[in-house]
Amino acid sequence: MATAARRREFALQRLIGSTAPQILRMMTIEGAFVATAGTALGTLITAATLMPFNIALKGAPTPAGPSWIYLSIVAAAAALTFLATLLPTALAFRAQPVEAAAVPA
């Protein structure tokens, strides 16, 4: 919803000379920052809660499960982040820039 609300911003960027691939590249970089921050914070919060449990349960801070589970969760979160960012951005290009940039009355 936040990306779709930026339609006017994208239209103004297109009116001043930015191309659609440039705007998509900008949004891809923003999505990468969001995915990285979410993964880092999620990992820290999860580690803070699971490490004491693992130490009490098996005497080591590392989880007992395979690492592919963590990697698949990170990949799924990144895929959802890019889908939720790039799809509304691409859909915002359907309208003409002049119409999309107009301030609603």
What would the pLDDT profile of 68-96 be if each residue is shown by its tens digit? 999 999 999 999 999 999 999 988 888 78
User: Domains in the chain: how many in total?
Assistant: 1
pLDDT, tens digit (0-9, with 9 covering 90-100), for 21-71? 999 999 999 999 999 999 999 999 999 999 998 899 888 888 888 999 999
Domain of 41, in residue numbers: 4-99
Reported confidence tier of residue 6, pLDDT bands at 50, 70, 90:
confident
Structural domain includes residue 57: yes
Structure tokens at 89: 């951005």
Let me know if residue 36 belongs to a domain: yes
Q: Are 88 and 4 in contact (CB under 8 A)?
A: yes
pLDDT of residue 48: 93
Alpha helices in 59-101 (DSSP H): 67-92, 97-101
Q: 48 in a domain, yes or no?
A: yes
The pLDDT, as a whole number, for residue 58 is: 87
pLDDT at 64: 80
